[in-house]
Structure 1
Amino acid sequence: MRSYAIGDIHGHLSLLLGAHDLIARDQAQHGAAPVIHVGDLVDRGPDSRGVIEHLMQGQARGEDWVVLKGNHDRMFSLYLTAFDAHDEGLRRDLSWLHPRLGGVQTLQSYGVASPGDRPLLPVFHDALAAVPQAHRDWLAARPTSHQRGEVTFVHAGIRPGIPLAKQTETDLVWIREPFLSDPRDHGSLIVHGHTALDVATHYGNRVNIDSSAAYGGPLTAVVIEGREVFELTAQGRKPLRPAHPHLP
């Protein structure tokens, strides 16, 4: 069973288009299969609006695309419900508009003027006027996991030892520990992003495909055959194998 997956996009539409091109080339040779985007569509990059529009339009025309919810997508959705709303996964001393989070760049992509330099309430009202209701509804409706064959796709990871059906949304979009250091097999291969690395890395029981597009790195696209993982490059498939199986 074949699946494709794309890591954390973070507002980089040009990188997303490039990843879709790599997948299209591989599909032309091997056949069509679903493409799972593991979330964090928005924040930090220059064109979060363009990313959302591209993904919405693709799904509307029938592309076999699954788009999962990341913690940044949830923070954006939550912000649009109340200017002082706070995601339970985020430190209490931070807000979505803090420079570290990238919400300012997301609002700028929708045409909101100076969202990081004006009083919060006027910025919030401008955001409500600028972000189409269709975008808000679509973002809020994103699923938090996708199971396909021997692979489970999530944004951040899972809480080890808990069945997928009983995982909390907050864990699926925010967790790091104890997931990252857990060496056990989780019953299926977990493909995720959220924790930025220099390169996509296979740990045996999980594969992290967040290669730091948010910070100037590339956007990773992979193809998974059963539990075998290949990174897609301009030269074709590159096997992604665990150097140290089941170790973080």
Structure 2
Amino acid sequence: MKLSIFFLAVSSAYQVDKIPEPNDKFNVYALPMGHGEGTIIQCPAGADGSGGELSIFDLGALVKYYEWWDVVKFLGDYPIRYMFLTHADETHTSFFPKVFPTNPAETETYPNLSELQQIYHTCPFDNYSFGSCNSCPQDTSVMDWLEYNKQKTVMVNDGEACGTAACIANGGDLKKCTCSDDRGISLCPQNPEIKLDFIAASLNNCERDRFGQLNSDKDSLVAKLSWNDFSMMLMGDNKSPDQEKIR
């Protein structure tokens, strides 16, 4: 089995194709979301044609190259097993309610959620309400979408910080401090060696400042995608100096 990583690009007159058919490779696609984020993880196909399941690590944009219907077309009908919303930022989450609507239009075709296992997120649902100021109208579409799908959602480490040396230094136990409850998610049923480990999450403890604003970047879920000797970090919006704090 081999690994392929694709960074998709678009031009001013672009055409969106469906995700390539799964093969014997483990494929990772970085979508050209513009001011946003969208990573699609595709499992290898088996010799019998099975496999090819997808997982989605963030999906959102403000200034867009891809529109939500482009993502729908790209995903096609391959089953989606996991979704990950790294933090409460609309540039990472705004497409989820559009690509996977709670009230789908009868005239549209949407991605396949028949094998969906979990939707992982950091911080409580109400953090996923967006507006430019506290008194401004709020966009609650992501919050409402999470609430609708709450039977499938998991808040990483119950919204508490995990994954830093400071956690242990402050008296936390190893299990809590390393996000161990949710580590080692097997993304591909036929390839248990392909795993996603949660390395850190909610380093800001999902707290608002005295003005009621969130620093959601610090709360980003940081994950390690691994397959045999290969590994890559998926950082959300975690930035330096917080990156140096991660174990």
- Name the structure with the higher helix share: 1
TM-score w.r.t. structure 2 length? Answer: 0.36
Compare relative contact order (CA 8 Å, sep 6+) and give the higher one, 1 or 2: 1
TM-score w.r.t. structure 1 length? Answer: 0.36
